[in-house]
A = this chain, B = another copy of it.
């Protein structure tokens, strides 16, 4: 049986792959067993964030010593920019080892990439359909039996640049490059929602507009460095063994600490918040500035600040909410939660040790 391993590792710069290299060189992780590497890099998380491509290039360069092109291509690399506030740049490496069967379900992970999109498809129902299929394939690959067993789907999807817009003669969903990031994230999320039975197939009118449609487990991040969608599905499966589990909740707004507190309480009901914190392995979440301009009827300024992107504001702020609850700052918080959780809120997943001593 397979057992999932998750390593949360510091990153001193976008090119700092040394903590991963050390793990590989120690033999603790076999390069062939890596399923996906997520990176929370310190760029602005917006259009001109090259820390994502730099991190990916650094990873590829490091792994190319051990893996051939096909093997390298099978490793999902999902870089998400933005560690505002006190958030800490880090890697999350998912790998699988052989392990004896254990009782009950365990964390299961699989990844898949769609074909390259045309710039004309970015932010459209065509992108949603590609993601939907990728989620289904990845579920099958991971042995995750039902949509209910899926607890997080991390997606990296492309965005539009001036050059890409020109390449298709301006036949694109939007000419605004920053806005294209939101449409791409939104289309991806609606693809997840459809795959998980949370929403009907995405339409053009729905993407970026009908905020009543959302997935409780999608997390999409857009970046300039790819033209495919990389999809990493995380869930619980009887086919997997090992000490790890995953669970999720939905924050109803940016300060919905109660939802997360309740989720944490399910981990170690008798051990209090500190007991839950001790078992946390990774936290993944989405954040966004509520599009109606207010949080609990009080105005926020994130959408009116022309100096700092609202996605940067939101990541740092929700980062504070979650760091206060979890006690650490290397949280994988991704900005721009279009169709990912309710308007102004977002999904949160925790990966944790099922047992105190594991």
Binding site for B on A (CB under 8 A): 10, 12-15, 42-44, 46-51, 53-54, 57-58, 61, 83-90, 161-163, 166, 175-179, 224, 254-255, 257, 289-296, 298-309, 312-314, 316-325, 327-330
Given known pairs A48-B304, A48-B306, A320-B318, the reply for A313 and B53 (CB within 8 Å) is: no
Contact B296 A327 (CB under 8 A): yes
Closest chain B CB from A288 CB (angstroms): 10
The closest CB in chain B to the CB of A299 belongs to B88
Contact A298 B84 (CB under 8 A): no
Chain B residues whose C-beta falls within 8 Å of the C-beta of A89 in the assembled complex:
299, 301
In the complex, A156 Cα to B307 Cα: how many Å? 21
Which of the residues B44, B58, B328 comes within 8 Å of A306, measured between beta carbons?
Answer: B44
Report the separation of the CA atoms of residues A319 and B254 in the bound assembly, to the nearest whole angstrom.
11
Shortest beta-carbon distance, A177 to chain B, in Å? Answer: 6
Q: Please give me the residue from chain B that is nearest to A330 by CB atom.
A: B298
| 22 sample A-B contacts, Cβ–Cβ < 8 Å, listed by A number | A43-B50, A44-B307, A46-B307, A47-B304, A48-B304, A49-B306, A50-B54, A84-B316, A86-B295, A86-B302, A86-B313, A86-B317, A177-B303, A296-B327, A300-B329, A317-B319, A318-B320, A320-B321, A320-B324, A321-B323, A322-B324, A324-B324
Q: Which residue of B lies closest to A179 (CB)?
A: B176
**Alpha-carbon separation in the docked complex, A254 to B317 (Å):** 12
> Assuming A13-B53, A15-B57, A162-B293, what are 4 further A-B pairs, CB within 8 angstroms?
A57-B57, A162-B299, A166-B293, A298-B330
Distance in Å from the Cβ of A260 to the closest Cβ of chain B?
A: 8
User: Which residue on B lies nearest to A301, using beta carbons?
Assistant: B42
Q: List the B side residues contacting A12 at CB < 8 Å.
A: 163, 299
- Inside 8 A of A322's CB, which chain B residues have their CB? 320, 324
Asked whether A85 lies within 8 Å of B313 as measured between CB atoms, the reply is: yes
Measured in the bound complex, the distance between the Cα atoms of B151 and A246 in whole Å is 43
Q: In angstroms, how far is the closest chain B Cβ from the Cβ of A182?
A: 10
**Inside 8 A of A44's CB, which chain B residues have their CB?**
306-307
For the complex of A and B, the 5 pairs showing the least CB-CB separation, nearest first, are A320-B320, A85-B317, A46-B306, A162-B293, A257-B324
Asked whether A306 and B306 contact (CB < 8 A) given A54-B50, A298-B328, the answer is no
**Which residue of the partner chain B has the closest CB to A313?**
B85
Cα-based distance from A224 to B305 in the complex (angstroms): 12
CB distance from A315 to the nearest CB of B (A): 9
- Residues of chain B within 8 A (CB-CB) of A224 are 13
Given known pairs A46-B306, A307-B307, A323-B255, the reply for A15 and B88 (CB within 8 Å) is no
Q: State in angstroms the CA–CA spacing of A350 and B89 once bound together.
A: 33
Would you call A298 and B53 a contact (CB within 8 A)? no
Question: A61 touches which one: B61, B298, B316 (CB < 8 A)?
Answer: B61
Contact residues in B for A290 (Cβ distance below 8 Å): 86
Contact at B304–A177, with CB atoms within 8 Å? Answer: yes
Q: How far is the CB of A236 from chain B (nearest CB, A)?
A: 27
- From the candidates B14, B49, B300, B317, name the one contacting A317 in the complex (CB within 8 A): B317
Nearest Cβ in chain B — how far from A56, in angstroms? Answer: 10
Contact of A88 among B161, B298, B314, B321 (CB under 8 A): B298
